Structure 1
Amino acid sequence: MSHQADIADLVVVGAGPVGLLLANYVAGHDLKVVVVERLPQLIDYPRGVGMDDECLRAFQAAGLAEAVLPHTTPDQWMRFVNGRGTVFASIEPKTRVFGWPRRNAFIQPLVDKVLAEGLGRYPSAQLLLGHTVNAFTQDNDGVDIEAEDANGAKRTIRARYVVGCDGGRSLVRKALDISFEGNTDSNRWIVVDLANDPSGSPNAYLHANPARPFVSIALPHGVRRYEFLLFPGEGQGDDVPREILESMMAKVVPDPKNIDLIRARVYTHNARLASTFRKGRVLLAGDAAHIMPVWQGQGYNSGIRDAANLGWKLVSVLTGIAGGGLLDTYESERRPHAAAMIKLSETVGKILAVRNPVGVAVRDTMIWIANLFPPVKRYFLEMRFKPMPRYERGVVTFGGVQNGKASAVGRMFIQPMVTKASGETVKLDDVIGVKFALICWGSRPDRWMSAGTVRILERIGTEIICAVPMVQQAHEVPLYNGITVLGDKSGDLKEWFGQHDEAVVLLRPDRFVAGACAPQRIDAMVAEVAETMSYLQPLPGAAAAVPRVAVVNRA
């Protein structure tokens, strides 16, 4: 047997969507990344089926959103149907506040393939399929990983950090002796994926039918997913007899024998959260850190949020911009939101699975009454009940309420369309790139920035954007000596700043607001953000160029 040794900045265990996206982020900064996956190929059957706008924005940051879009169905509504066939609640968000549709159906194997192929852009990235991690040990400087392929060839990889993205049964989590707290629902369900959709109707329907609750979801490329609640005695383990499957399918298709079955799999809903997301130089992300019932489609999206949050922090630490303490903010920011999404998913599951006649009557009556009130109805239609990530600890300076208005700090920033001076219209993130951004309205920030602030912004990689009305463009361009001029065509930036007291925001690479202030406080705000991210001062004598400045203009 052969034995190979390798050196990497990061080893990712698990080639699911979270691990692959994280690897794309880090490898995109010329850092060496090795992804180790025990299976000989990527999983080729559908798993996650719902993708939100935050998820697409994360793919956009990795330069992969356009390649993902052909495998999605935008604006997929979710409708709740009672036992009489009446839609009693509907989730139909039409917002594009983050630049993408809020709800999208998708085919996970095809999106995973896009992410895997994305690694091919980077010579510093390596994907090892069919390799099992047998053991790992860590010290103060790194982690030694022992991996073995199907032929018994062993490989030792020395990495500066390791992230376990190896699913709910994570070997990495178990090796770290991290508890996985939570519960497993006693109900069993069967998921049935069909090719050549025998229904053809769009959208997703959650049938809260007391006779047998079930779900029907239209997916791209003619795939249909059904999920049925199983009753006691209907099959043992993961096996459900064909006749029972056909009897359930007979409720939803005219000819249950004439279907193109992709797979039928029995599962139970788990709601679990790791007690910690980090031990030393090893971290957990995705299902290895948290798993939740499927009812809001947030398991997949929560994992992608992990990758977006952790990716830029790993880059900052691995490139020497920040100390290892920055990685502690990953857990303090992500774990509370994962817990909130687990609770939401459990609640929706309980609403769907009610079978007691009294409980069904109470549920349907309460929802019918709620629908009589337009504000309450909009609350569900626009998906406002979804707990949006809001970071109160971590790489944020302050939050709460100021002058009667909620602070923007700790929240995700909007993504409007902006127009360049050339006339090209693009999404805001495409102007910023995968870096920080200082965005101002109505004031030139360089007037208020000290040389020290300039050095910090340059070192962390910052795009500075001044937003001004479009009618001022001809006047402002000469003052900025030909610096790029962009246009806020819809006026969304002006409206956003009009709703907040802070005229300056500093965005993190994951587009969350790290700090907000008046122009005259830019120096103090940048210093505070630098402190929260464990910023490391450059070596004496290191030069720093002035950050690039862009001017945004409103049409």
Structure 2
Amino acid sequence: MTARVCIVGAGPVGVVAAIACAGKGMQVALFEAEREIDRSPRAATTHPSTLEMLAELGLLEEFQSLGLVARYFQFWDGVTKTLVAEFDHQVLRDETPYPFVVQTEQHKLSELGLRRLAAMPNVELRLGMSVTDVVQDSRGARVTTEGAERHVFDYVIGCDGGRSTVRKCLDVEFEGYTWPERFLVLTSLFDFQAALGCCPRSYISDPEEWTNLFKVMGDDLMGRWRAVFPARENETDDEAFSRGSVLRRLRKLHKDHPMELVAHRNIYRVHQRVAKSFRKGRV
């Protein structure tokens, strides 16, 4: 009998899990609360072990074409603007067929995965459909969606993020803590590589305010940089996003950075948490 699997959440983890299950011949239903994939800036570096998995699923070539291959990463002294050290992923060439990272925005993997899933006859995509409850017994798992619609599956895979409904329905603890610091991300069209001589993954030390610089390609594949800074203690969002604050930070990197090249501003927290159990019965 063909296994019926429900995937909850169409982020990168959900679509990859759905493709893997469908590729094994399972009947897959993918539920996603939002009608469209969230395109807001998120972590965008994919490491060799994940690249190996994407290659096995036939996703790597297209995924790589949507981003930037970064073989090197560098550490810089922000005060003197001098290179301190450079590391080369090629030292891993005997450990992995992909001794580099790929810097591709998360929404691109989700959208790529959804396109692949839409062409698979054993997959049902339900975007804009929230899961409200999950219960199970020895015979299967019942998933309730918005509007009290009920669906029965052999297995459920919860990929619905840090506020996971699936995890909460199963009373699985989410152990860990949230770091007190907040981090400011400024996305810029300014070419830091041309201006500073840095590589697309650069970490810049400073006695007062460090910076991480990562280049991604953007949806237009023309390239843009994410500059990550620590938000100051008690600094409000409005203060961090203000023109004066943005220019102060960016012009510390390069004195000629123009305000009009700032494409996006965001503040986020880092959560260091992990589910106490990754499997509970059929979920």
TM-score by length of 1: 0.46
Q: Tell me, yes or no, if the aligned pair for 1:10 and 1:159 is still in contact at 8 Å.
A: yes
Q: Tell me, yes or no, if the aligned pair for 2:8 and 2:157 is still in contact at 8 Å.
A: yes
2:128 to 119, 127, 130: 130
State how far apart, in whole Å, the 1-side matches of 2:119 and 2:181 are: 44
1:204 paired to 2:240 = no
Q: In the TM superposition, what is the alpha-carbon distance from 1:237 to its structure 2 partner?
A: 8.5
Cα-to-partner distance string for 1:71-111 (whole Å, 9 max, x where unaligned): 23223322122343333333211143422233222232222
Q: Tell me, yes or no, if the aligned pair for 1:81 and 1:209 is still in contact at 8 Å.
A: no
State how far apart, in whole Å, the 2-side matches of 1:204 and 1:75 are: 7
Cα-to-partner distance string for 1:225-257 (whole Å, 9 max, x where unaligned): 110111123214897333322321222341332
What corresponds to 2:245 in structure 1? Answer: 244
The letter for the 2-side match of 1:112 is S
What corresponds to 1:40 in structure 2? Answer: 35
SS in 1 for 2:163: coil
1:86 to 73, 82, 88: 82
**1:207–1:11 distance in 2 versus 1, CA, 3 Å:** same
1:178 paired to 2:168 = no
**1:45–1:277 distance in 2 versus 1, CA, 3 Å:** same
Q: In the TM superposition, what is the alpha-carbon distance from 1:13 to its structure 2 partner?
A: 0.7
What corresponds to 2:225 in structure 1? Answer: 224
1:187 paired to 2:181 = yes
The letter for the 2-side match of 1:88 is V
What corresponds to 2:158 in structure 1? Answer: 164
Cα-to-partner distance string for 1:196-252 (whole Å, 9 max, x where unaligned): 344244321111212211111112221211101111232148973333223212223
What corresponds to 1:102 in structure 2? Answer: 100
Q: Tell me, yes or no, if the aligned pair for 1:188 and 1:230 is still in contact at 8 Å.
A: yes
**1:278–1:225 distance in 2 versus 1, CA, 3 Å:** same
Higher-Rg structure is 1
Cα-to-partner distance string for 1:288-318 (whole Å, 9 max, x where unaligned): xxxxxxxxxxxxxxxxxxxxxxxxxxxxxxx
Q: In the TM superposition, what is the alpha-carbon distance from 1:133 to its structure 2 partner?
A: 0.7
Cα-to-partner distance string for 1:155-208 (whole Å, 9 max, x where unaligned): 3211111111111121211222122222222211111223x3442443211112
Q: In the TM superposition, what is the alpha-carbon distance from 1:266 to its structure 2 partner?
A: 0.9
The letter for the 2-side match of 1:225 is R
State how far apart, in whole Å, the 2-side matches of 1:116 and 1:251 are: 41
State how far apart, in whole Å, the 2-side matches of 1:111 and 1:47 are: 12
Cα-to-partner distance string for 1:427-471 (whole Å, 9 max, x where unaligned): xxxxxxxxxxxxxxxxxxxxxxxxxxxxxxxxxxxxxxxxxxxxx
Q: In the TM superposition, what is the alpha-carbon distance from 1:260 to its structure 2 partner?
A: 4.2
1:14 paired to 2:9 = yes
Q: What residue ranges of structure 1 are gaps of 5+ in the alignment? A: 1-6, 283-555
Q: Tell me, yes or no, if the aligned pair for 2:240 and 2:246 is still in contact at 8 Å.
A: no
- The count of residues paired between Structure 1 and Structure 2 equals 270
Q: Tell me, yes or no, if the aligned pair for 1:234 and 1:244 is still in contact at 8 Å.
A: no
**1:213–1:27 distance in 2 versus 1, CA, 3 Å:** same
State how far apart, in whole Å, the 2-side matches of 1:238 and 1:137 are: 45
- RMSD over equivalenced CA pairs, Å: 2.2
**1:238–1:49 distance in 2 versus 1, CA, 3 Å:** farther
TM-score by length of 2: 0.87
**1:127–1:12 distance in 2 versus 1, CA, 3 Å:** same
1:143 paired to 2:141 = yes
SS in 1 for 2:130: strand
1:53 paired to 2:54 = no
SS in 1 for 2:17: helix
1:467-546 paired onto structure 2 within 5 Å: none
SS in 2 for 1:48: coil
SS in 1 for 2:247: helix
Q: Tell me, yes or no, if the aligned pair for 1:34 and 1:126 is still in contact at 8 Å.
A: yes
The letter for the 2-side match of 1:232 is E
**1:125–1:197 distance in 2 versus 1, CA, 3 Å:** farther
Q: Tell me, yes or no, if the aligned pair for 2:54 and 2:60 is still in contact at 8 Å.
A: yes
The letter for the 1-side match of 2:4 is D
1:322-333 paired onto structure 2 within 5 Å: none
State how far apart, in whole Å, the 2-side matches of 1:52 and 1:255 are: 30
Q: In the TM superposition, what is the alpha-carbon distance from 1:61 to its structure 2 partner?
A: 1.2
Cα-to-partner distance string for 1:398-422 (whole Å, 9 max, x where unaligned): xxxxxxxxxxxxxxxxxxxxxxxxx
SS in 1 for 2:177: strand
Q: Tell me, yes or no, if the aligned pair for 2:46 and 2:103 is still in contact at 8 Å.
A: yes
Q: Which has the higher helix share?
A: 1
Q: In the TM superposition, what is the alpha-carbon distance from 1:53 to its structure 2 partner?
A: 2.0
Q: Tell me, yes or no, if the aligned pair for 2:64 and 2:102 is still in contact at 8 Å.
A: no
Identity level (%): 27
What corresponds to 1:259 in structure 2? Answer: 261
